[in-house]
Structure 1
Amino acid sequence: MADHTLAHRSQNATRTETVHLPPATPPTNHGRTLAAWTTTWTVVAGGVIAGLGVAFTMMWLFWVGMAVIAGGLVLGKVLQLLGHGQGGAATLARAQRRGGH
Structure 2
Amino acid sequence: MADRTLAHRAQNPTTTEKLNLPPSAAPTNHGKTVAAWFTTYAVVIAFTIAGLGVAFAFEWMFWVGLGLVALSLIVARVLVSAGYGQGGAKTRANASKHGGH
TM-score, L = length of structure 1: 0.81
- Does 2:81 align with 1:43? no
Name the residue aligned to 2:59: 59
Q: What RMSD over aligned residues (CA atoms) do the two structures have, in Å?
A: 2.1
Which consecutive unaligned segments of at least 5 residues does structure 1 have? 1-13
Name the residue aligned to 2:32: 32
Runs of 4 or more above 6 Å deviation: none
Q: How far does residue 20 in structure 1 lie from its aligned partner after superposition?
A: 3.2
Give a deviation string over 1:38-75, Cα, whole Å, max 9, x none.
11110000000000000111100001101111111011
The number of equivalent residue pairs is 91
Q: How far does residue 76 in structure 1 lie from its aligned partner after superposition?
A: 0.5
Q: How far does residue 23 in structure 1 lie from its aligned partner after superposition?
A: 1.8
Give % identity: 51
Bigger Rg, which one = 2
Q: How does 1:49-88 map to 2 (within 5 A)?
A: 49-88=49-88
**Residues of 2 paired with 1:99 and 1:33: CA distance?**
15
TM-score, L = length of structure 2: 0.81
